[in-house]
Copies of this chain bind each other. A is one copy, B any other.
Amino acid sequence: MTRITGIRTLDVRAPTSITLAGSDAVHQDPDYSGAYAILETDGPHQGVGMTFTIGRGNDLCCAAIEALAPLVAGRPLAEVVGDGAGFWRRLTNDGQLRWLGPEKGVIHLATAAIVNAVWDLWAKEESKPLWRLVADLTPQQFVDAVDFRYLTDVLDRDRALDLLQAQVPGREARIAELERDGYPAYLTSAGWLGYSEQTVRERCRAAIAEGWTAFKTKVGIDVASDVRRCEVMREEIGDLPLMADANQVWEVPEAIEWMRHLEPFDLRWIEEPTSPDDVLGHAAIRRAVAPVGVATGEHAANRVVFKQLLAAEAIDYCQVDACRLGGVNEVLAVLLLAANAGVPVCPHAGGFGLCEFVRHLSAIDYVCVSGSLEDRTTEFADHLHEHFVDPAVVRGGRYLLPELPGYSADLWPASIDALTYPTGSVWR
């Protein structure tokens, strides 16, 4: 019986601010980074989990992982995964540490790293990729991993069981479909805000040639340049789906006004039009900009925020984040909330490691929870994958299902040597 004997942390950062990959209206010089929680065990495997940041402060997440470590170290894995909801509740409700959130900010990002590491370890012990581990759970086992606290006015355990039970028939057929066709994806990395018009054109053309069928651009600094960028992208991609991402830059009335200028471009969604905390603001924007959809989630702090975004009919697309939420357990909760509300889940990705994680999450959503690919598409950006032992692979604009055991956070030793902050070779 494997026991978690301790937790190590690892602070890795990629110097993406040099190329402006990842740049947007609010984050103009990100260094895409991972704060790692590495569960040491007395068995053959380590559990490797990560949370994503964009540079400075990654060390704070590592320190927070260390602060949470006593709640995990010494425990048998079977005990932790046998009571997933209880474990998650203990981690997020330490009588003193919870004051730092609760369930938000640095302490919740650190929770994500640890929780993701637990699932990685469990999947490795079962010799399955994470998505397969979850697909093989019974509906009962699935809900046992979910803490329904603060959700029961909308979704309780029984309702969740009904939702999951309804998707049991056809699970194997959907897995076979994903193994054959992959999961639909869209490309963000043609339209980073720091790129020139020429770069955008070249990247769109290369992407079309690779088989991409959906695209996203960054907007929000200047109306005229947004209009021009949308024109350029429409010229290059024709009438393929085009989304836009404002990264929280607008006031509520400003978002509504700005989107009038982008009406000609038939955008599928506007993403993060305002403060990620502003549920009611998103609802007001959604009412005003229809038929353009509203998408948000990468900064939605926890399942309670998603509960409200869905209850207020504030979003058309639910963008769960593998690391902003408190790891797999809370992601499962939000997948259930979204299915319950009939809103498609289109995970946020693009950051360091996120593409590696979301292919698992989208597969879980399709196979176990929603049973639908309609109006679903998962973000992809084409950088930093070379650092991962089990990198995200896209063919013809669709994510291939990962096959290696675990949750895909493992880095190559050479990448650890290069990216470790501040001692790695790229930082020296």
Contact = CB atoms under 8 A, between A and B. Distances in A.
Interface string A197-219: 00000000000000000000000
Interface stretch (A117-125, A138-146, A149-157, A419-427): A149-157
Contacts of A31: 96
Given A150-B278, A308-B280, A102 B253 contact: no
B277 A57 contact: no
**Identical copies of this chain, number:** 2
Contact of A277 (B28, B56, B104, B254): B104
Contact of A60 (B30, B60, B248, B311): B60
Interface string A302-319: 101101100110000000
Given A26-B95, A63-B60, A275 B150 contact: yes
B57 A150 contact: no
Interface in A298-338: 299, 301-302, 304-305, 307-308, 311-312
A54 B152 contact: no
A253 B279 CA distance: 21
Q: Which residue of A54, A60, A97 has the most chain B CB atoms within 10 A of its CB atom?
A: A60
B308 A279 contact: yes
A281 interface: yes
A200 to B, nearest CB: 22
A61 interface: yes
A383 interface: no
A95 B308 contact: no
Interface of A: 26-31, 53-57, 59-61, 63-64, 67, 93-109, 149-150, 152-153, 248, 251-254, 274-281, 284, 299, 301-302, 304-305, 307-308, 311-312
Nearest to A324: B99
A408 B29 CA distance: 38
A95 B55 CA distance: 9
Nearest to A152: B251
A95 B278 contact: no
